[in-house]
Amino acid sequence: MLIVVLFEWKTPVFVQDRIGRMQQTFTIYKLRTMKNGRITLLGRIFRKTGIDELPQLINILKGDMNFVGPRPLTKEDIVRLKWDGESQLRRWSVKPGITGMAQLVNVCDANVSWNADMEYISNRSVKLDLKIIWKSMLVPILGKSNVKQHIHK
pLDDT, position 6: 53
DSSP 56-71: HHHHHHHTS-EEESSP
Q: List pLDDT tens digits, range 30-42.
A: 998 988 889 988 8
| 6, 16 Cβ separation under 8 angstroms | no
pLDDT, position 72: 96
Rounded to an integer, the average pLDDT of 60-85 is 95
pLDDT, position 146: 67
> What is this structure's pTM?
0.84
- Read off the pLDDT band of 123 (50, 70, 90): very high
| 128, 97 Cβ separation under 8 angstroms | no
User: Which residue did the predictor score with more confidence, 17 or 48?
Assistant: 17
- Read off the pLDDT band of 120 (50, 70, 90): very high
Q: List pLDDT tens digits, range 13-32.
A: 999 999 999 999 999 999 98
Pairing of strands 97-99, 66-68: parallel
